[in-house]
């Protein structure tokens, strides 16, 4: 068998394997799962001045992030 055909056949087999593996048992594509549990994540909030999302605990009492509090 020609080496070029072997490479093409190997790539085709790899592609079919990846496609079949990505589909779940119910026929829909599977989604990657988040790495942490929900308890490990912090709630995010938007700074009222610049609009940047930061952890809720790091906002000031006026709803501003640290850089906005320093500058104004």
Spell out the domain ranges in the chain: 3-27+41-71
CA 56 to CA 46: how far, in whole Å? 8
Kindly report the pTM of this predicted structure: 0.43
Q: Look at residue 47 in the predicted model and tell me its pLDDT.
A: 92
| Tens digits of pLDDT across the chain (72 residues) | 688 999 999 999 999 988 887 776 566 666 666 676 667 778 899 999 999 999 998 898 899 998 888 876
pLDDT in the model for residue 29: 61
pLDDT, residue 24, reads 61
Q: Is 69 in contact with 48 (CB distance < 8 Å)?
A: no
Residues 6+ apart with CB under 8 A from 7: none
Give the model's pLDDT for residue 50. Answer: 92
């Amino acid at each position: 068998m020609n080496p070029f055909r072997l490479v093409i056949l190997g790539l085709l087999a790899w592609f079919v394997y990846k496609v079949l593996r990505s589909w779940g048992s119910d026929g829909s594509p599977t989604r990657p799962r988040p790495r942490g549990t929900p308890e490990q994540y912090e709630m995010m909030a938007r700074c009222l001045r610049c609009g940047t999302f930061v952890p809720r605990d790091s906002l000031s009492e006026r709803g501003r992030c640290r850089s906005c509090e320093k500058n104004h």
